[in-house]
Amino acid sequence: MKKIIGLFALLFILTPNADAQTKIGGIVMPNVMKVGDQYLKMNGGGMREKYWIDLYVGVLYLANKSSDADKIISADEPMAIKMRIVSGMVSNSKLEDAVRDGMEKSTNGNIEPVKDRMEKLIAEGFKDDVEDGDEFDLIYMPGKGTTLKKNNKALVTVEGLDFKKALFGVWLCDEPAQESLKKKMLGL
List the 53-62 sheet strands across, edge first.
32-35, 38-50, 53-62, 79-85, 135-141, 145-150, 153-158
- 155-182 per-position pLDDT tens digit: 999 999 999 999 999 999 999 999 999 9
**CATH architecture for segment(s) 18-185:** 3-Layer(bba) Sandwich (3.50)
Query: Is residue 45's pLDDT more than 80?
Result: yes
The whole-number pLDDT of residue 110 equals 96
DSSP-based three-state secondary structure for 159: coil
HSE (side-chain half, CA atoms, 13 Å) at 100: 12
Q: Which of 12-26, 33-47, 50-64 has the lowest mean pLDDT?
A: 12-26
The C-alpha atoms of residue 148 and residue 112 are separated, in whole angstroms, by 21
Query: Is residue 141's pLDDT more than 90?
Result: yes
Listed by start position, the domains of the chain span 18-185
Query: Is residue 109's pLDDT more than 90?
Result: yes
Q: What is the mean pLDDT of the chain?
A: 89
pLDDT band at 3 (very low <50, low <70, confident <90, very high): low
Q: What is the pTM of this model?
A: 0.87
What is Dmax (Cα atoms) for the chain? Answer: 70
Q: Tell me the sheet residues that pair with 71.
A: none
Residues in the chain, total = 188
| Over residues 67-94, mean pLDDT | 93
More confident site: 18 or 89: 89
Check if the beta carbon of residue 98 is closer than 8 Å to that of residue 177: yes
